Amino acid sequence: MTAILSDEQLFRPGRHVFLSPHYDDIPLSCGGIATRISRGGVAPEIALIFGDHPDPDQLLTGFAQELHEQWGLSSEQVIDARRAEESAASALIGAVDTYLPFHDAIYRGSRYASDEELFGGTKDDETDMPFRIISELNLVQADRSSVRVYAPLAIGRHVDHQHAFQVGIRLTADGYDVWFYEDLPYALVAGEADGRMSQIESPLASAGLVDVREVWETKIDAIMAYPSQLAVIFSEYVGTGSTRAAIDAAMRAYSQEVGEGIQAERFWRVTE
């Protein structure tokens, strides 16, 4: 049985920095641990990587406009609306948001103009992206013993999540304590988690389980703070309903599966 992390293990670092590729990723994937950390007296820091406003001088692709329509948001209001959702969710879990100056993949020209490209490989002209992201994080070498960074495993293979995963790999190599989280809702789809884990070349081992039973309702509250995304995420992608009850049931079932009977969030570390 995978070990449940103790309070001492959970709260040990002085800072907790969560790498969030997009709005909503941390409440969905780490809402429980973030809430526990904040209730323990330390405000978790969410580094929202790809949340900058689109370049006004660059025309949006038809694909980006189609996604805006699915979200029920106009191009002019999309970022402000999504930041308002993020702010509401972060207030619930007790987190502080920082926005990095990078555009979502759908706003980076025509590189990612379809679902196939968005969930395929990162483009060759973006190989420096992880290094650019690291340069924008508020981290210094002296912090290595007092900071824990949380990075996505890139389950689902969204290109922005792949970049964030590589940030975690590079920070691990640089001596930081990095815990990799399971990307939800992608992990809810059968086979996605196992498929991704089989592709990762770095050797991974479980960092442990975080018991989130006492903060479960807050986690769900935070997820519900993203009304523009719920139908797309849960009805269309996962195949469940987008009501609170349906979302709770889907998330609860997965958390109890990874928690071996209790509601938990599972984290991984590179072993070499």
Question: Angle formed by the axes of helices 25-39 and 78-93, to 10°?
Answer: 30
Residue 242 confidence class, pLDDT cut points 50, 70, 90: very high
**What integer pLDDT is reported at residue 2 of this predicted model?**
82
- Is pLDDT at 78 greater than 90 in this prediction? yes
- Rounded to 5 degrees, φ, ψ at 3 are -70, 140
To the nearest whole number, what is the mean pLDDT of the chain? 96
Q: Which residues pair with 266 in a beta bridge?
A: 209
CA distance 108 to 128: 14
CA distance 265 to 258: 7
Q: Classify 13 as helix, strand or coil.
A: coil
**What integer pLDDT is reported at residue 272 of this predicted model?**
74
DSSP string, 71-97: HT--TTTHHHHHHHHHHHHHHHHT-EE
Domains delineated in the chain: 7-270 (3.40.50.10320)
CA distance 201 to 160: 18
- For residues 37-53, average pLDDT: 97
**What integer pLDDT is reported at residue 143 of this predicted model?**
81
Calculate Rg over the CA atoms of the chain: 17
Residue 140 confidence class, pLDDT cut points 50, 70, 90: confident
Sign of CA pseudo-dihedral 42, 258, 208, 211: positive
Helices then strands, counting H and E runs in the chain, come out as 11, 7
**What integer pLDDT is reported at residue 57 of this predicted model?**
87
> 0.85 exceeded by the pTM?
yes
CA distance 150 to 165: 10
**Whose structure tokens read 């978790």?**
44
Give the percent of the chain with pLDDT over 70. 100
Question: CA geometry: angle at 95 spanning 93 and 99, to 5°?
Answer: 135
CA 265 to centroid of chain Cα atoms: 13
CA distance 48 to 133: 10
Residue 71 DSSP class: H
- For residues 161-175, average pLDDT: 97
- Is pLDDT at 27 greater than 90 in this prediction? yes
Residue 2 DSSP class: P
Q: Classify 224 as helix, strand or coil.
A: coil
Instruction: Mean pLDDT check: name the lowest of 71-80, 94-103, 220-229.
Output: 71-80
